Amino acid sequence: MSLFSSQDLKLLTNPLNMENPITVQVLGICSALAVTVKLEPAIVMSISVTAVLAFANVIISLLRNTIPSRIRIIVQLVVIAFLVIVVDQILKAYVYDVSKQLSVFVGLIITNCIIMGRLEAFALGNKPWPSFLDGVGNGAGYGLILIIVAFFRELFGSGTIFGFPVFEKIGLYSIGYKNNGLMILPPMALIIVGIIIWIQRSRTRELIEKNL
Amino acid sequence: MNTQGNLYTFVYASVLVVIVAAMLSFTAIKLQPIQERNVRIEKIQNILSSVGIESTVKNAESLFDEHLVDSYVLDPEGNKLNGEKAFDVKLAPQVKIIFAIKKIIDKLAKADKANKEKLLSEINSLKKQRRLPVYICEHNGEQHLIIPVRGKGLWGPIWGYISLNMDYNTINGVVFDHKTETPGLGAEINQLWFQEPFKGKKIFDDNMNFTSIHVYKGGKGSAANAGDTEHGVDAISGGTITSKGLEAMLHDCLISYTPFLKKQKNANK
Q: What is the pLDDT of residues A93-138, one digit of tens each?
A: 998 888 887 767 788 888 888 899 899 999 999 999 999 999 999 9
User: Which of A:66-85 have CB within 8 Å of B?
Assistant: 66-71, 74-75, 78-79, 82, 85
- Helices first, then strands: H and E counts in chain B: 7, 8
User: Which residues of chain A does B31 touch, with a Cβ-Cβ cutoff of 8 Å?
Assistant: 89-90, 92-93
Confidence check: pLDDT of B82 > 90: no
pLDDT band, very low/low/confident/very high, at B269 (cuts 50, 70, 90): low
Is B38 strand, coil or helix? helix
Is B138 strand, coil or helix? strand
User: Which residues of chain B does A68 touch, with a Cβ-Cβ cutoff of 8 Å?
Assistant: 3-4, 8-9, 12
Alpha helices in B111-215 (DSSP H): 113-128, 192-195
- Can you give the pLDDT at residue A144? 93
Rounded to whole angstroms, how far apart are CA atoms B212 and A143?
Answer: 47
Closest-CA residue in chain B for A90? Answer: B31
Rounded to whole angstroms, how far apart are CA atoms B122 and B116?
Answer: 10
Which of A66, A67, A92 shows the shortest C-beta gap to B35?
A92
Residues A103, B187 contacting (CB under 8 angstroms): no
Phi/psi of residue B26, nearest 5 degrees: -60, -50
pLDDT band, very low/low/confident/very high, at A212 (cuts 50, 70, 90): low
pLDDT band, very low/low/confident/very high, at A3 (cuts 50, 70, 90): low
User: Which residues of chain A does B38 touch, with a Cβ-Cβ cutoff of 8 Å?
Assistant: 92-93, 96
Inter-chain contact B180–A103, Cβ cutoff 8 Å? yes
Confidence check: pLDDT of A210 > 90: no
Inter-chain contact A68–B3, Cβ cutoff 8 Å? yes
Give kind and range of the element (H or E) at residue B251: helix B240-268
Inter-chain contact B38–A93, Cβ cutoff 8 Å? yes
Rounded to whole angstroms, how far apart are CA atoms B17 and A134?
Answer: 26
Q: CA-CA-CA-CA torsion for B259, B74, B159, A162, nearest 10 degrees? A: 120
Lowest mean per-residue pLDDT among A124-128, B80-84, B131-135, B182-186: B182-186
Confidence check: pLDDT of A1 > 70: no
Put simply, whether A206 touches B (Cβ < 8 Å) is no
Q: What is the pLDDT of residues A21-50, one digit of tens each?
A: 888 888 888 878 888 888 888 998 899 999
Q: Please state, as a whole number, how many other Cβ atoms lie within 10 Å of the Cβ of residue A59.
A: 21
Q: What is the pLDDT of residues A46-95, one digit of tens each?
A: 999 999 999 999 999 999 999 998 899 999 999 999 999 999 999 999 98
Which of B9, B34, B38 shows the shortest C-beta gap to A70?
B9
Rounded to whole angstroms, how far apart are CA atoms A153 and A39?
Answer: 8
Q: To the nearest whole number, what is the mean pLDDT of chain B? A: 88
- Can you give the pLDDT at residue B23? 95
Lowest mean per-residue pLDDT among A4-8, B67-71, B142-146, B195-199: A4-8
- Can you give the pLDDT at residue B120? 87
Pairing of strands B132-139, B80-81: unpaired
Rounded to whole angstroms, how far apart are CA atoms B131 and A64?
Answer: 56
- Can you give the pLDDT at residue A2? 59
Mean pLDDT of all residues in B240-255: 92
User: Which residues of chain B does A93 touch, with a Cβ-Cβ cutoff of 8 Å?
Assistant: 31, 34-35, 38
Confidence check: pLDDT of A196 > 90: yes
Q: What is the pLDDT of residues B8-22, one digit of tens each?
A: 999 999 999 999 999
Quote the DSSP letter at residue B154: S
Mean pLDDT of all residues in B234-240: 86
Which of B9, B20, B34 shows the shortest C-beta gap to A78?
B20
Domain boundaries, chain A: 20-210
Lowest mean per-residue pLDDT among A59-63, B177-181, B193-197: B177-181
Closest CA to A114 of A28, A49, A52, A36: A28
